[in-house]
Amino acid sequence: MPEQFYTILTSLGQAELANAIAHGTQVALSQMAVGDGNGNYYEPSQAQTGLIHETYRAGINSKTVDPVNGNWIICELDIPATTGGWYIREVGIFSTTGNLFAIGKVPVTYKPQFSDGAGKDLVIKVILEVSNASAVTLQVDPSVVLASKKYVDDSLGTHINSSDPHPAYALDTDVTAHNTSPTAHQDIRDQKSDKTHRHDGTGGALDYAVDTGAANAYVINLTPDLLAHVPGMTIRFKAANTNTGASTIAIDALAAVAIKKLGDKDLNNGDIKAGWIYEVVWDGVNYQLVGFRPAFRGALVMRSADKVIASGVTTLIDWDIEVYDTDNLHDNVINNSRLTVPAGVTKVRVSAQQYWYGQSGSSIRQMDILKNGRVLSPRIVSNIEASLYNNSAIVFMASPVINVVPGDYFETFVVQTTGLNLSFLATLTFFSIEIIE
């Protein structure tokens, strides 16, 4: 049975086309490539993302409209005489996103190079036929042709003899009609309105949908259906539930994929809130949450009563008031001196404030921040002589960003050397932690 030659849209090509139709834009095709199929014919597949064995690629040389069939757009690839030495059995068209938009099977032809004793320029011609507003088919011209002098002469003659050889520029009659028309730009306004936000029959935007899934597993349905995820594609959705951790999104019949933030980071509790509208962009692997601003996470604890500190005794400070605690970093009952790092956290910043009062004379009042029972490196410590501050002193100290793992904990301990008991004033003393990432 003779070989059949044809071209098909890839799955990525179909998705780009559907996205362009939905938004009233155009798919930009930029490159064409040929290959030898590793020495054999094969049947092109929609799942392909490249040629079997690519031998040459270059920018599309020309894009013209067929003079007989106004629905045909003709793309040509010029292969110069300076390259060759291989056969051609496959051809591909690539969009500006780098995706293989269409793949074709063509009759085998040999492209010589000068070392073979001969050289020639070849032109591969592919025709895109626009059948209607929602579908485009591709047909490949199975002949490999030379750009002839006759072709150039005919094209130049057609240009010279045309009544409107430069349709991009207005004729005198067009300018006159424009200047005298009270609605000269109405069609442009209508097109802009249509392309800015097209809607389906229920009024919903084609790149927007309301989530119907659950927390951490968002589900949306677009019109028309999304056939494949395309790098750079933007989707908007209104969340039905607030997330509690790492999350996914499933669009139409496609499998659920991860939503990430800040590159490759999983979402944390509260990054997506019920009733809010979010924008995500496909990066080739995951959907990236656009314009992500992380919710504040951390804890601030204080004391309900002043704390009496005996002289010369190193004392851990316990905290029994939680001003706020977003991630259960503190427990008022068990180990209430601690602020503990939760799962998924890698960097934090801690701070503390102390207010000493009472007892005159020269003496030391000191506070340290500990990590897992040991002083930090670099050490975060305050050490003051009360006689310089009229027997009372208030000191604030903060750490740089600290690398942590889940389960690490921070505490504060104090010591004073007055020889008598001193106190912390509860209303001006606190301990806090801020989650950085």
Residues 74 and 311: their CA atoms lie apart, in Å, by 91
Cα dihedral angle (216, 222, 228, 233), rounded to 10 degrees? -80
Residue 304's pLDDT band, with cuts at 50, 70 and 90, is very high
Residue 362's pLDDT band, with cuts at 50, 70 and 90, is low
Which range has the top average pLDDT, 176-185, 304-313, 390-399? Answer: 304-313
373 and 314 belong to one structural domain: yes
29 and 141 belong to one structural domain: yes
Which of 289, 306, 325 marks a domain boundary?
A: 289
The pLDDT assigned to 360 comes to 53
Closest CA to 296 of 137, 119, 436: 436
Which of 261, 289, 317 marks a domain boundary?
A: 289
What is the rounded average pLDDT of the residues 349-374?
A: 80
Max CA separation in the chain (angstroms): 109
The pLDDT assigned to 289 comes to 92
Kindly list the distances between the CA atom of residue 76 and the CA atoms of 32, 152, 393, in Å, as whole numbers in the listed order: 8, 14, 81
User: What 3-state DSSP class applies to 281?
Assistant: strand
The pLDDT assigned to 32 comes to 93
* Signed CA dihedral, 364, 365, 368, 373: sign only: positive
Q: How does pLDDT run across 124-147, given as a tens digit for each residue?
A: 888 776 544 333 444 444 444 444
408 and 362 belong to one structural domain: yes
Residue 204's pLDDT band, with cuts at 50, 70 and 90, is very low
Domain housing 216: 208-289
The pLDDT assigned to 223 comes to 86
Which uninterrupted H or E stretch holds 31? strand 29-35
Contact 33, 51 (CB under 8 A): yes
CATH code for position 378? 2.60.120.40
pTM: 0.44
Residue 8 or 182, more confident: 8
Residues 288 and 267: their CA atoms lie apart, in Å, by 10
39 and 138 belong to one structural domain: yes
Does 197 fall in a domain?
no
Closest CA to 296 of 250, 335, 327: 327
